[in-house]
Amino acid sequence: MAYGDRSSTKGNLAADTLTLGSTNSRPVQLKNVIIGCGHNNAGTFSKKGSGIVGLGGGPVSLVSQLGDSIDGKFSYCLVPLTSEKDRTSKINFGTNAVVSGKEAVSTPLVKKSPETFYYLTLESISVGSKKIPLPGSVSGTSEGNIIIDSGTTLTMLPTEFYSQLEEAVASQIEAERQEDPQGVLSLCYSATADLKAPVITMHFDGADVKLDFSNSFVQLSEELVCFAFRGSDDLSIYGNLSQMNFLVGYDTVSQKVSFEPADCAKM
């Protein structure tokens, strides 16, 4: 198997029984779940990681294998990087994965190829009260112009659009800019500066998602804090820093993704 960032794994294919906890406190046994036992792993896999749970829309992912038994629904709540070390993120499958709180908003999933990705439509991004519309994609339509991915850290946007976004964010921050020594992120400030950053709001089709400071800025070191977005002319991706402290629910039957602000460490 190979991934979008060219990481890959080779090994044996096996079938095993997967046991998950359940809401009625009786564990659920799911027989004949196909798993890969990777012996030769290359790329960004770390020694600490014990493996990958595939949540994509492709045929071999865990979500696709569980299929009808979870009614095509799963949700997760990612704890912020600043949480205490023993806090873990939660994932739910099935009826418990429905996101239906008062503050929940939903946006349609757009069917596109490859089917492993979950495509959403991002219409614009607001920086404070300044709304920056996303230009139409090459084909003249912007439907399904971004994927949501729990396995990508940063949020990636078309280079030209990102430049406008960065300029708007920088113009509303009164602090001296710093360089990211690794050259990955381009809008950085001293971590000791009292940063008053503007609120970033993602305007998806039918869903406005208002980001917290910890979603839009990431502390790279004791000295440096940077805007957690970057330009990319490859795929646009809504990454996991932007998703922290939201209950994010996927419903592949109703074809929608829902967001609800949450304190994930308390879930």
Q: What residue ranges in the chain does DSSP mark as E strands?
A: 8-20, 28-42, 73-77, 90-93, 105-108, 118-120, 122-127, 130-133, 146-148, 155-157, 177-178, 188-190, 200-204, 207-210, 217-219, 224-227, 229-231, 237-238, 246-251, 256-261
**Does the pLDDT of residue 140 top 60, yes or no?**
no
Q: What is the mean pLDDT of residues 174-200?
A: 91
Supply the pLDDT for residue 184.
92
Peptide bond into 114 cis (omega under 30): yes
Return the top range by mean pLDDT from 35-44, 81-90, 156-165, 172-181.
Answer: 156-165
Entry pTM: 0.93
Structure tokens at 174: 């009164």
Please tell me whether residue 63 adopts helix, strand or coil conformation. helix
Which CATH number is correct for 101-261, 2.40.70.10, 3.65.10.10, 3.90.950.20, 3.60.21.10? 2.40.70.10
Cα(172)–Cα(208) distance, rounded to whole angstroms? 21
Which two structure tokens, joined as six digits, stand for 231?
Answer: 């330009």
Mean pLDDT of 150-160: 95
More reliable by pLDDT, 85 or 111: 111
Question: CA-CA distance, 80 to 51, in Å (whole number)?
Answer: 21
CB-CB contact of 7 with 42 (8 Å): yes
- Amino acid 141: pLDDT: 53
Residue 82: band (very low, low, confident or very high) from pLDDT cuts 50, 70, 90: confident
For the cut 60, the answer to whether the pLDDT of residue 72 exceeds it is yes
User: Which residue's structure tokens are 């998806």?
Assistant: 204
Residue 133, pLDDT score: 92
Alpha carbon distance 95, 229 (integer Å): 33
For residue 81, the model assigns a pLDDT of 85
| DSSP single-letter state for residue 214 | H
Point out the least confidently predicted range of 3-7, 65-69, 109-113: 3-7
Question: Which of 18-22, 84-88, 93-97, 171-175 shows the lowest per-residue confidence on average (mean pLDDT)?
Answer: 84-88
For the segment 2-11, the average pLDDT, to the nearest whole number, is 86
What average pLDDT does this structure show over 247-252? 97
Q: Are 173 and 197 in contact (CB under 8 A)?
A: yes
Find how far residue 141's CA is from the centre of its chain: 23
